[in-house]
Amino acid sequence: EAGVTQFPSHSVIEKGQTVTLRCDPISGHDNLYWYRRVMGKEIKFLLHFVKESKQDESGMPNNRFLAERTGGTYSTLKVQPAELEDSGVYFCASSQVGAKTQYFGPGTRLLVL
C-alpha cells in the first residue's frame, strides 16, 4: 500500500512568489492534515480536512495560506505571496476517521529567499 506522498520534496523561491504544495493521502483516508515545522521550532498543526471539508483550520498562520481538497482526495497548500518566515518543512498526514494514528508524508522543504 502506498503511503502519503508529497510534492515537491524541495522548493526554493523568492519572497513574493507563489508556491503550491501537494499532498496525496493514503487511499481511503478521509482525514488529511497539514503541519509545519519552522527551523528549530516544534511541528505545528495547520489544518484538518475531513474529505473535502475543512474541519479545523485554526492553525493557519494568515490569509496568505490557502488549502484545498477538491473531491476529497489530494490536497494542495498554496502560499501567496511567500514571506521569509514561511520557510520550513511542511508535512501532510492522513488517517482513517476515528483512528488516532496519523501517517505522515516525507514533507516538503520550503526555502523562501
Residues lying near other proteins in the complex (CB under 8 A): 4, 6, 31, 33, 35, 40-45, 48, 55-56, 91, 93, 95, 100-107
- We find the least distance from the C-beta atom of residue 105 to other proteins, in angstroms, to be 5
Q: Whole-number minimum distance, CB 81 to other proteins, in Å? A: 27
Answer yes or no: are the C-beta atoms of 28 and 96 closer than 8 Å.
yes
Cell of 28: 481511503
Q: Residue 57 — φ and ψ, nearest 5°?
A: -120, 30
CB nearer other proteins, residue 34 or residue 112: 34
| 3-state class (DSSP) for residue 71 | helix
Write down the least CB distance from residue 93 to other proteins, Å: 8
Cα 14 from Cα 4, distance rounded (Å): 27
Q: Which is nearer to other proteins, 62 or 101 (CB)?
A: 101
**25: number of Cβ within 10 Å:** 26
For other proteins, the closer CB: 14 or 95:
95
Kindly state the smallest distance separating residue 2's Cβ from other proteins, in Å.
13
Cα separation, 86 vs 95, in Å, equals 26
Minimum CB distance to other proteins smaller for 56 or for 80 = 56
